[in-house]
Amino acid sequence: MSMELKKGSKNGNSIDTNHDIEKGQKRLSSDKLSIYGFDVSNFSRNIQFLLCASTMLLFSLLYGYFQELVSVNMLNRQLTFFLSAVQLGLFSFWSLFLCVMNNGRSRQSGASLKKTSFSLNIAVPLITFLGLSCLKSLDLELSNRSMQYLNYPAKTLLRSSRVFFVMISGIVIGRKRYSVQDFILVICLLLGLLIFLHADLKSVSTVFHPIGVCLMISALFVDGIFNNWAEIIMNKYSLCHDHFNLYLYFIAFSIAFVMADINGEIKDGISFLSKPGTIDEIANGTFDESSWSVHHKMIILLLFSVTGLFGASSAAAITKNFGALTTSLVSTTRKAMTLFLSFIIFHHDCTPEHVVGIIIFFTSLVMKSIRASVREK
Beta bridge partners of 38: 35
pLDDT(181) > 90: no
The three-state (H, E, C) secondary structure of the chain, written as one string? CHHHHHHHHHHHHHHHHHHHHHHHHHHHHHHCCEECCEECCCCCHHHHHHHHHHHHHHHHHHHHHHHHHHHHHHCCCCCHHHHHHHHHHHHHHHHHHHHHHHHHHHHHCCCCHHHHCCCCCCCCCHHHHHHHHHHHHHHHHHHHHHCCCECHHHHHHHHHCHHHHHHHHHHHHCCCCCCHHHHHHHHHHHHHHHHHHHHHHHCCCCCECHHHHHHHHHHHHHHHHHHHHHHHHHHHCCCCHHHHHHHHHHHHHHHHHHHHHHCCHHHHHHHHHCCCCCHHHHHHCCCCCCCCCHHHHHHHHHHHHHHHHHHHHHHHHHHHHHCHHHHHHHHHHHHHHHHHHHHHHHCCCCCHHHHHHHHHHHHHHHHHHHHHHHHHC
**What percentage of residues in the chain have a pLDDT greater than 90?**
10
Mean pLDDT of the chain: 75
CA angle 292, 212, 80 (to 5 degrees): 40
How many beta carbons lie within 10 A of that of residue 198, not counting itself?
13
pLDDT(377) > 60: no
The confidence score (pLDDT) of residue 253 equals: 93
- Cβ 349 vs Cβ 206: under 8 Å: yes
The confidence score (pLDDT) of residue 341 equals: 66
Alpha-carbon distance of 28 to 251, in angstroms, equals: 29
| Of the ranges 110-114, 222-226, 321-325, 364-368, the best mean pLDDT one | 222-226
Residue 27 one-letter amino acid: R
- Greater confidence (214 vs 32) lies with 214
Burial of 102 (0-12, 13-18, 19+ CB in 10 A): buried
Write the CA distances from 334 to 145, 155, 157, 191, 353, integer angstroms: 21, 14, 11, 20, 22
pLDDT(118) > 80: no
- Cβ 156 vs Cβ 338: under 8 Å: yes
**What percentage of residues in the chain have a pLDDT greater than 70?**
69
Of the pLDDT bands very low, low, confident and very high (cuts 50, 70, 90), residue 270 is: very high
Alpha-carbon distance of 39 to 59, in angstroms, equals: 19
Of the pLDDT bands very low, low, confident and very high (cuts 50, 70, 90), residue 303 is: very high
Beta bridge partners of 35: 38
pLDDT(107) > 70: no
Alpha-carbon distance of 356 to 353, in angstroms, equals: 5
- Mean pLDDT along residues 14-33: 45
Alpha-carbon distance of 191 to 355, in angstroms, equals: 13
- Cβ 247 vs Cβ 60: under 8 Å: no
- Mean pLDDT along residues 97-107: 67
- Mean pLDDT along residues 346-361: 73
How many beta carbons lie within 10 A of that of residue 152, not counting itself?
21
For residue 66, give the nearest of 316, 266, 298 by alpha carbon.
298
Burial of 209 (0-12, 13-18, 19+ CB in 10 A): middle
Residue 318 one-letter amino acid: I
- Cβ 359 vs Cβ 336: under 8 Å: no
- Cβ 63 vs Cβ 307: under 8 Å: yes
- Greater confidence (215 vs 356) lies with 215
The confidence score (pLDDT) of residue 30 equals: 45
pLDDT(281) > 70: yes
How many beta carbons lie within 10 A of that of residue 335, not counting itself?
23
Beta bridge partners of 282: none
39-77 tens-digit pLDDT: 788 888 888 888 888 888 888 888 888 888 898 889 988
Of the pLDDT bands very low, low, confident and very high (cuts 50, 70, 90), residue 114 is: very low
N-to-C CA span, the chain: 57
